[in-house]
Amino acid sequence: MADTQRILLIDDSQAVLARAQAVLSDAGYEVITTNQTVGTARHLRSCQLVIIDYHMPGIDGGEVLASLRNAAKSAGSAPLFYLYTSDADLVGKGRSMGFDGSFTDKGNDEALVSQVNAAFRLIRLRSLSKK
Amino acid sequence: MNAPPQSGRRSAVEIPAPALSGRFFSIGAKLSLMVVLVLTLASLFVVSELSGRARAQLIEQKRTAANMVVDLFAATVSAAADFGDEEELKGEVKNLGSNQDIVYAAVWTEGNEKPVAELGKSNTQTTAPSKSRQVEVLNDRIVITHPLTRPGGEQIGNLTIHFTLEPENAQYERTRTSIMLYALGMAALLAVVVLGLVRVQVVSPLGRLSRGIADVQKGREAEVEVRAHDEVGRLAAAFNSMAVAIADRESRLEALNHRLQQLLDHMGEAILVFDSGGRVGQVQSKKAAAVFGEFVSGQPVVDLLFPEGTSRVEREAFEEWLEVAFTVPVDAWEEVGALAPQETTIGRGSREERVLRLDFRPIVEDGEVRRVMLLATDETDKRRLERAVRENKEEHQRQIAAMRKLVAGGGQLLVQVLDGARERLTDCTKAIAGLSGDYATEQNEELFRWAHTIKGEARAFDLMALEKSAATLEDELAKFRGRLREGEKLAAESVRKRLEPLISKATESVGEAERMLVEASPIGPAILDQVTVRRADLSRLSELIPHGKPTGNAQEIARVVELLGSRPFGESALSLVDSAPRWAARENKRVAVDVDGRDVPIPPRLARVLSGVLTHLVRNAVAHGVEVLEDRERLGKPIPARIRLAAEEDDRVGPTIRVIDDGRGLDHEALEKAAQNAALEKAALEQTALEKAAAIVAHQAPTNAEEAAFTAGITTKPAATSEGNTSGSTRSSLHDGTDLAGFGMGLSAVRTELRKIGYDARIIERRDEGVASGIEVILSPMAR
């Protein structure tokens, strides 16, 4: 891959972050992880994909998304925002909450890599279509 | 679809007959209608003509006869007319009434407007007729007017006689009817004959031809019988030739398709083709049928690769790819093809999970990508194997980690448990070997207690495999217990057959636990043979050895006491197996540490310093010897880099320790230059020129890099503070002051420390075909 493919992963669980970072790094991605729901906007400029957990203490993924979308708009970046969950109900609601889609099967490393691969293919396809 | 072509029926595509407007109207019926029409018209013409002629002939005959009658009557009545004998005239006229053909007769004498004698009534004429002879043929009668004359030719009157044509007309009607019937009969007969001929010669052959065409359309073989050498026969013969040519062409195409199909079927990939609408075509390999199902033709390929219910983003990405893949120019396909999914997992997490590696190839027609061939390789088994290996490895590492904790907390207790388990299992084996007759409750209870104890102890020490196998044995014995309590008699032989494999399995688990214990132990197999002694007891024993140089038994006792006080090499080295890779990871490096001679006893004086020395040397090797990943890849060196810690036993002088890495070796130039600078710096501290000169000689720099590395204070580290990343640095010294290697005295301190206990350190640069390929630091006893 010629360009660095950078991902921002937001989850309140350090275990999930550590595991996902290890798996996605092995798959060739540069991963920024944080369990903070504020002050993460500074990472947006360099990330093409943002993966957000839904159930976080005191705030849900939808609120984090709204905040980051505004920040991305101000920063002139347009990453894809995906919800990361294994809750079937949430998967169906992801788009209505404003996410670009949902990554399912949370905790399954192989599924995560496959879905991240697909998301980056989407990004490149859309970029190609614009040309 | 994989069967060879069948004779008599080709698998040609059935082409639908073109739709025709209007109702079907047989060519035979058309011809029949035409023939009947023509013959009817002809018959009518003939009837008209013939009947007309017949009537004319009858009338002509009547007229001739009538003329004769008139002439005769005129001759008869001329005299009476000349004499004005009306009575005679009337009598003669009346006589005419006997002739049934005469419907009217009248005689005029000269000068009278009214007839002097008359028969019947005229419907046409009441005045005297003209003086000339006239014959007028009317529809229903012939009217003849004749002048009456004297012998000299002088006209003396006229006469008119009307002859009826009623008989002739009746005859004419009868004749016409007969002719018409005859003509129509002939026409009908002709029509039947013509129709029969048309049916036999045209309609039936055309029907056979039509059926033959239908057979060809349906892919069947067809041959039309050629019965006549005419246009239809030629058409049939031409059709037969065409059908044979089509059959031949199709059979060749079929054979070609069959060979291609066989080729596809023998390929390991599931192959299918889909069009721009994403619909799967008919071409597919046998493997595709096995992977995706038999009847996938026409289905959306996205449903096959990413069925509903799987990851939406993967499905969405593939759908968008499908939209782009058929719109780009052929030369841009490579870029688009790279964006296709390379893998899919169908039924992830289920028992039917299938992992497919995907490859998409464009099928170009007329310079455009019209279809795409999908080659899907089933990698399910491979992935399962990889996953199983990975999980086994992780499980093994978990167990080793657990075992290390046990060892750290007192390995001898664990050894004792394993010894006890093995001993109990041996007792079990002996007990069931001696079984005969009926199996007794007491025998079962004893075996049960042993199995239960093994299980409990295994559980206490996290020996999962042993716990599981002991539990299986215990469960089986519990079943026997239940049956025995119910009074059932169990044959010892059957009990033995059932228990033997379970005991054998548990014994294997003990062996496996011992192997893991040895692997996890810093002192290797010696862990199984180790006992704990108290340091005070050892000191007391040492005091019992005579002072001075012992001889005889005292020498042997002194050697054994030293061995008792020795620590295994593994104790000093094994912690580095886990630590070094972590240090390396922070430096963008990969390192693996191998330890040889873990159970080599290290004398107490060396054991006290060895752990620190080895840590220093390994950190040094990681910091400066091992290259960063990119450099090793560029140089073609194996990853991870390896650092080997080896101990070799020597009963006579003591063990030799080696620390060997496969890094970049020494930077000779930098080390020698640093050594000279260090000598000059020391000399500069002297007060006088003479002292300085003497000092330069006294602090003469070492002549080679290996020796320079051991010189105190030598470093090639720049004066400015070096920070953070050492990636890409050259090995300028063994202590150039990174976080990892520190700013201490380096190898000089190591050597100093070792020399205090009778050991020395030296460095050998390892070379491979003249190129530095790492260094070897050797710690060995100093010559006495």
Q: What is the mean pLDDT of residues B745-774?
A: 80
Mean of pLDDT over chain B: 81
Identify which of A114-118, B420-424, B482-486 has the greatest average pLDDT: A114-118
Q: Does the structure show a pLDDT above 70 at B4?
A: no
pLDDT at residue B746, as a whole number? 66
CB contact under 8 A, A122 and B313: yes
Chain A positions touching chain B (beta carbons under 8 Å) = 82, 91, 101-105, 108, 110-111, 114-115, 117-119, 121-122, 124-126, 128-129
Q: What is the mean pLDDT of residues B576-604?
A: 86
Q: Does the structure show a pLDDT above 80 at B31?
A: no
pLDDT tens track for A113-131 = 999 999 999 999 988 877 7
| Cross-chain CB nearest to A124 (options B314, B316, B339) | B339
pLDDT at residue B356, as a whole number? 93
Q: What is the DSSP letter of B438?
A: B
pLDDT tens track for B230-242 = 888 888 889 999 9
CA B280/CA B295 separation, integer angstroms: 10
Answer with the residue of higher pLDDT: B322 or B182: B322
pLDDT at residue B724, as a whole number? 33
Count how many residues are written for chain A.
Answer: 131
Q: Does the structure show a pLDDT above 80 at A10?
A: yes
- Work out the pLDDT band at B719, boundaries 50, 70, 90: very low
- Work out the pLDDT band at B360, boundaries 50, 70, 90: very high
CA B642/CA B3 separation, integer angstroms: 58
pLDDT at residue B465, as a whole number? 86
pLDDT at residue B536, as a whole number? 79
Q: What is the mean pLDDT of residues B118-143?
A: 79
Q: Does the structure show a pLDDT above 80 at B5?
A: no
Q: What is the DSSP string of B72-130?
A: HHHHHHHHHHHTT-HHHHHHHHHHHTT-TTEEEEEEEETT-SS-SEEES--SS--SPPP
Q: What is the mean pLDDT of residues B613-641?
A: 87
Whether the CB-CB separation of B73 and B96 falls below 8 Å is answered with yes
Dig out the tokens for B148 from the structure.
């009456």
Whether the CB-CB separation of B58 and B171 falls below 8 Å is answered with yes
| Cross-chain CB nearest to A118 (options B335, B341, B349) | B341
Q: Does the structure show a pLDDT above 90 at A83?
A: yes
pLDDT at residue B691, as a whole number? 59
pLDDT at residue B679, as a whole number? 66
Can you give the three-state secondary structure of B398-411, one letter per residue?
Answer: HHHHHHHHHHHCCH
Q: Does the structure show a pLDDT above 80 at B701?
A: no
Q: Does the structure show a pLDDT above 50 at B501?
A: yes
- Residue type (1 letter), B621: A
Residue of A nearest to B317 (CA): A122
pLDDT at residue B714, as a whole number? 53
CB contact under 8 A, B311 and A117: no
- The helix (H) or strand (E) run that includes residue B322 is helix B312-325
- Residue type (1 letter), B63: R
CB contact under 8 A, A122 and B342: no
Give the best residue of B305, B314, B322, B386 to mutate against chain A (max A CB count within 10 A): B314
C-alpha angle B372-B375-B381 in degrees, rounded to nearest 5: 155
Answer with the residue of higher pLDDT: B139 or B360: B360
pLDDT at residue B18, as a whole number? 59
Q: Does the structure show a pLDDT above 50 at B9?
A: no
CA B331/CA B326 separation, integer angstroms: 12
CB contact under 8 A, B311 and A122: no
- Work out the pLDDT band at B744, boundaries 50, 70, 90: very low
Q: What is the mean pLDDT of residues B448-454?
A: 86
Classify burial at B538, counting beta carbons within 10 Å of its beta carbon; exposed 0-12, middle 13-18, buried 19 or more: middle
β-pairing, A80-84 vs A101-103, is: parallel
β-pairing, B656-661 vs B771-781, is: antiparallel
Q: Does the structure show a pLDDT above 80 at B520?
A: no
CB contact under 8 A, B311 and A103: yes
Classify burial at A121, counting beta carbons within 10 Å of its beta carbon; exposed 0-12, middle 13-18, buried 19 or more: buried
pLDDT at residue B1, as a whole number? 41
Q: What is the mean pLDDT of residues A103-109?
A: 87
Burial code (b: 16+ CB inside 10 Å, e: under 16) for B139-167 equals eebbbbbbbbbeeeeeebbbbbbbbbbee
- Work out the pLDDT band at B3, boundaries 50, 70, 90: very low
Identify which of B85-89, B187-191, B261-265, B359-363 has the greatest average pLDDT: B359-363
Dig out the tokens for A15 from the structure.
């275990």
CA B379/CA B346 separation, integer angstroms: 12
Answer with the residue of higher pLDDT: B179 or A126: A126
Q: What is the DSSP string of B150-192?
A: -TTS-EEEEEEEEEE-HHHHHHHHHHHHHHHHHHHHHHHHHHH
CA B306/CA B224 separation, integer angstroms: 53
- CB pairs A-B closer than 8 Å: 61
Answer with the residue of higher pLDDT: B278 or B724: B278
Residue A119: its chain B contacts at CB < 8 A?
313, 317
Dig out the tokens for B294 from the structure.
């038999």
Classify burial at B48, counting beta carbons within 10 Å of its beta carbon; exposed 0-12, middle 13-18, buried 19 or more: middle
* Nearest one of B283, B288, B292, B281 to B260, comparing CA atoms: B283
Give the best residue of B306, B313, B390 to mutate against chain A (max A CB count within 10 A): B313
The nearest CA of chain A is from the CA of B319 a distance in Å of 10
CA B779/CA B750 separation, integer angstroms: 10
Dig out the tokens for B137 from the structure.
């043929």
Q: Give ipTM to 2 decimals.
A: 0.91
Q: What is the largest CA-CA distance in chain B?
A: 220
Phi, psi of B763 (to 5 degrees): -120, 135
- Residue type (1 letter), B527: I
CB contact under 8 A, B342 and A117: yes
pLDDT tens track for B267-307 = 778 899 999 999 999 888 888 888 888 888 899 999 999 98
pLDDT at residue A7, as a whole number? 94
Look up the pTM and report it. Answer: 0.46
As a whole-number percent, the residues of chain B with pLDDT over 70 amount to 85
- Work out the pLDDT band at B726, boundaries 50, 70, 90: very low
Mean of pLDDT over chain A: 86
The nearest CA of chain A is from the CA of B641 a distance in Å of 19
Residue A101: its chain B contacts at CB < 8 A?
312-313, 316
pLDDT at residue B539, as a whole number? 78
pLDDT at residue B738, as a whole number? 44
pLDDT tens track for B305-322 = 998 877 889 999 999 999
Whether the CB-CB separation of B477 and B454 falls below 8 Å is answered with no
Q: What is the mean pLDDT of residues B6-20?
A: 52
Classify burial at A15, counting beta carbons within 10 Å of its beta carbon; exposed 0-12, middle 13-18, buried 19 or more: exposed
Assess whether the previous peptide bond of B341 is cis (omega < 30° from 0). Answer: no
Residue B343: its chain A contacts at CB < 8 A?
114
pLDDT at residue B525, as a whole number? 78
pLDDT at residue B631, as a whole number? 86
Residue B341: its chain A contacts at CB < 8 A?
117-118, 121
CA B728/CA B588 separation, integer angstroms: 10
Q: Does the structure show a pLDDT above 50 at B681?
A: yes
pLDDT at residue B734, as a whole number? 35
How many Cβ atoms sit within 10 Å of the Cβ of residue B716?
22
Residue B378 touches partner A, C-beta closer than 8 Å: no
Residue B316 touches partner A, C-beta closer than 8 Å: yes
How many Cβ atoms sit within 10 Å of the Cβ of residue B77?
24
- Work out the pLDDT band at B716, boundaries 50, 70, 90: very low
Q: What is the mean pLDDT of residues B533-556?
A: 75
Can you give the three-state secondary structure of B539-577, one letter per residue?
Answer: HHHHHCCCCCCCCHHHHHHHHHHHHHHCEEHHHHHCHHH
pLDDT at residue B523, as a whole number? 73
CB contact under 8 A, B348 and A117: no
Q: What is the mean pLDDT of residues A88-106?
A: 86
Q: Does the structure show a pLDDT above 60 at B2?
A: no
Q: What is the DSSP string of B225-247?
A: ----SSHHHHHHHHHHHHHHHHH
Phi, psi of B495 (to 5 degrees): -65, -45
Considering only B52-61, B110-119, B734-743, which range has the smallest mean pLDDT?
B734-743
- Work out the pLDDT band at B688, boundaries 50, 70, 90: low
* Nearest one of B342, B381, B348, B380 to A107, comparing CA atoms: B348
Q: Does the structure show a pLDDT above 70 at B199?
A: yes
Q: What is the DSSP letter of B727?
A: T
Whether the CB-CB separation of B239 and B224 falls below 8 Å is answered with yes
